[in-house]
Structure 1
């Protein structure tokens, strides 16, 4: 199985979710199932079926998180020397050469991506165009609205 790159923050958030699922959600749904069983006939017991469905979701998510964590390659860019090169985990400031607008993105794992927070997936077109480039480079990014030229104005290992 291939290792999946993940930031320190991404790993921490997954571990926190896993603990919450195992210590809060799982025991609660087990109690809900037990309580629903006491209501009698299981064939027409909506609470029982809803709780069983919720249990399936929780167990599936626990397995998914455990799988991701077992294949995680945690990368802490703060411990690396800033060479000015764009790599996984770096925060990149881009200058749009058409509009003079600047944007900042942090290149993260797929689970951590949140465009509203400026976190873009390693597999996104922008990240793929940026990886391996350096501060001062001009990058052409294909967007839904057409090709856009950016200058990499800053690369931070934060």
Structure 2
């Protein structure tokens, strides 16, 4: 499998979630299963079945995070000399050439993407159009409603 790019913040967030799942959530669900077992007949024991289901979810999520971290290529954009060129991890301010609307996005890995937080996946149409371009360049982003031209106003390593 190929390496998957991830920001330092994204990797730290996954490690924190993994730690919480292993040290807090997993022991809590084991305790809940033990307590539910004490209630007797397991066939009709809703607490037991809910706890077992939650345990399955937790174990699946732990495996998922461990896998993601094992394939992660953590990129610390702050350690890379700014060149004005858009690369993975940079924060890019773009201006819609038609409306003059300005928007700022941080280009992150798939798992970190959160449009509400202005973090877009490196595989999104906007990021793919921006990668490799420089401040001052005009890029055409294909959207379902047609192409939109943006000017790259600023590229930051923050």
TM-score by length of 1: 0.98
Cα distance in 2, alignment partners of residues 61 and 50 from structure 1: 17
Cα distance in 2, alignment partners of residues 44 and 28 from structure 1: 22
Match of 1:75 in 2: 75
Matches within 5 A, 1:2-151: 2-151=2-151
Cα distance in 2, alignment partners of residues 44 and 148 from structure 1: 58
1:84-132 deviations in whole A, cap 9, x for unaligned? 1110000000010000011000000111111011100011110011111
Cα distance in 1, alignment partners of residues 112 and 9 from structure 2: 9
Displacement of 1:143 in angstroms is 1.8
**Where does structure 1 differ by over 4 angstroms across 4 or more consecutive aligned residues?**
none
Unaligned runs of 5+ in 2: none
Displacement of 1:157 in angstroms is 1.1
144-153 or 29-38: bigger deviation = 144-153
**Matched pairs, number:** 158
Unaligned runs of 5+ in 1: none
Cα distance in 2, alignment partners of residues 34 and 123 from structure 1: 44
- The alignment's C-alpha RMSD in Å is 0.7
TM-score by length of 2: 0.98
Displacement of 1:147 in angstroms is 1.3
Name the SS for the 2:74 alignment partner: strand
